[in-house]
Chains A and B, each alone.
Chain A
């Protein structure tokens, strides 16, 4: 099958898994202005931004020859659950012949999950499938370890942009790795490359750490969130995201009785502020803010797609957390507008605020 998928975060992982199973992978291009223009043109105006961008990247993938699109479903009262329906109808209307394979949680509808799995499995043996899954999981874990390192080093690099370039290079090296040994080598190589970045010497008491929380797509995909991690890094701040692929997989794939992931604890931490699941990542967002605060972070940047209801709800609850725990939070709406100047002003002012809090003076 000529397969493709939504572009989000370190995409080399999905690519690798599908390649391992012998599928022909059509890489969707990194979301660009063209992607956004396409997505906005063909999506309902009031749909949220991720739906539009993904719409655009599907169209670009189809242009490159994709026949099947693999994506995840949604659960709870969030529009993400309807994405596939909306996308496939619009694509059909526009005359594109493309099939969707949607993975919903296997604990809800195992039959359907199994059916999808069989499609992906194709002619491979179950052993091969298990092996590929393990391999990709290993790769995911290792990439996340390196990415977390990147997000710290970037704050202190002497030559602007060097860490980001190395990180892109590391992903390319991983893309070439096809077995356990090569993945280990890629990991070692990545560590070595990162250790060579020349850094400013900053005293531990002067270091600032900021967490990024919010809806998964705008948090994970730098090309549409003004490269928030890079931006914060270039302003001298260490960054950690609320979502990493391996964490997401752990939380969503492990059955309940053995699901001891950090995300479970995080959800519990936010329960005081939002006891029920309202869809999207609202509950995670609040829990993550509490979690970042307890872990001594200086501030949190909250990203939400414009018009995202779950995140609007969390936005209105955030002032209470700030009051209780004293952690400053900056909420930014992400949409197609390209005028980044005013968001840059907000981010800069926010960093002044947390620096001031850190050193007890306006900087």
Chain B
């Protein structure tokens, strides 16, 4: 039996589950599309984990991160519930100890994290603008009729440079159409788009920050070679892509859980793999006690209320 720590990163696009051992090596990892159903995707992930290596492991701790961290934390009985910025930084420092700057681009948000002496000293996170995230590429790949998987390689074949306005997806789109009319090839347009995304990212998130090498680039978009080369061109430096670039959040959550368990010496609160069979019922109701009329979210486990949130006055949140 091997002792492991689990990490779950529940994002808006993907849900990742990892199991690591005491030295932080990844023994198992699973990438699942969230499809707007974080509860189900985690349940499925746990079931698969259990059937694949469930007999060989003992879970000593579990951490959750990502936008669904609270809900999933309640469901699995997490020992640590952490924000994704800290989780990402933790995992990156573990893999690239001397890292100074982390670029993280996911489907719906992007982050920059500045590290000094293995400590987060600054960060920025972008969530309301799509022009610096994976969804921008997703959308354009659809427009051009080229699968997103081929996007990066295609960009590398471009012969000429073409500049696409990247401040906003709306402008990018009309500029892209204009440049197509001028006769630029798809590959060139894609290269231009990749550069626009990187420019937008650096302008938005890097503004006023001390950006120094070594650079690490992670998140789902790091799979795209075109973006990587656009980054290297923009910052005139090598960009490291860690081995587990798209599951760094989950690894970070697992590492944080391990740290926490070792430090406190507590027993894990993990509900076990049968958590996947528990009946978790989230429901909402409108609290009419004041004019705010908040939509309160209530989560029940086997008919017992285990979590509530969403109320502006914290009346329900604090009632547990």
Using a CB–CB cutoff of 8 Å, the interface residues on chain A facing chain B are: 29, 32-34, 160-161, 164, 223, 227, 230, 316, 318-319, 322-323, 328, 337, 341-342, 344-346, 348-350, 352-353, 356-357, 360-363
Q: Are A363 and B318 in contact (CB under 8 A)?
A: no
Q: Tell me the bound Cα distance from A223 to B207 in angstroms.
A: 30
Contacts of A362 in B (CB 8 A): 86, 89-90, 93, 118-120
Contacts of B207 in A (CB 8 A): 316
| Chain A, interface SS category | helix
Bitwise, B65-86 to A at CB < 8 A (1) or not (0) is 0010000000000000011111
Known A345-B85, A349-B123, A363-B86; contact A34-B118, beta-carbon cutoff 8 A: no
Can you list 14 pairs linking A and B with CB atoms under 8 Å apart?
Answer: A32-B290, A34-B291, A161-B315, A161-B318, A319-B208, A345-B67, A348-B83, A349-B85, A353-B121, A357-B119, A357-B121, A360-B119, A362-B86, A363-B86
Q: Are B125 and A316 in contact (CB under 8 A)?
A: no
Known A349-B83, A363-B86; contact A328-B121, beta-carbon cutoff 8 A: yes
Q: Tell me the bound Cα distance from A345 to B123 in angstroms.
A: 11
Q: Tell me the bound Cα distance from A230 to B122 in angstroms.
A: 23
Contacts of A161 in B (CB 8 A): 314-315, 318
Bitwise, B207-248 to A at CB < 8 A (1) or not (0) is 111100000000000000000000000000000000000000
Task: Indicate which residue in B82, B120, B125 contacts A353 across the interface (CB closer than 8 Å).
Answer: B120
B256 to chain A, nearest CB (A): 8
Contacts of A356 in B (CB 8 A): 119-120
Count the B residues whose beta carbon is within 8 Å of the partner chain — how many? Answer: 33
Does chain A have a CB within 8 A of B271?
no
Contacts of A342 in B (CB 8 A): 67, 109, 125, 127
Does chain A have a CB within 8 A of B37?
no
Does chain A have a CB within 8 A of B22?
no
Q: Are B314 and A230 in contact (CB under 8 A)?
A: yes
Q: Are A349 and B127 in contact (CB under 8 A)?
A: no
Contacts of B118 in A (CB 8 A): 362
Please provide the 8 A-B residue pairs with the shortest distance between their CB atoms, ordered closest to farther.
Answer: A349-B85, A319-B208, A348-B83, A161-B318, A32-B291, A342-B127, A352-B86, A32-B292
Using a CB–CB cutoff of 8 Å, the interface residues on chain B facing chain A are: 67, 82-86, 89-90, 93, 109, 118-123, 125, 127-128, 207-210, 290-294, 312, 314-315, 317-318
* Nearest residue, chain A, Cβ from B127: A342
Q: Are B109 and A349 in contact (CB under 8 A)?
A: no
Q: Tell me the bound Cα distance from A361 to B83 in angstroms.
A: 16
Q: Are A319 and B86 in contact (CB under 8 A)?
A: no
A118 to chain B, nearest CB (A): 36
Q: Are B314 and A160 in contact (CB under 8 A)?
A: yes
Task: Indicate which residue in A318, A341, A348 contacts B208 across the interface (CB closer than 8 Å).
Answer: A318
Contacts of A32 in B (CB 8 A): 290-293
Q: Are B127 and A328 in contact (CB under 8 A)?
A: no
Q: Are A349 and B86 in contact (CB under 8 A)?
A: yes
Q: Tell me the bound Cα distance from A345 to B69 in angstroms.
A: 10
A152 to chain B, nearest CB (A): 19
Q: Are A349 and B290 in contact (CB under 8 A)?
A: no
**Most interface-central of A160, A227, A342 (chain B CB within 10 A):** A342
Contacts of B293 in A (CB 8 A): 32-34
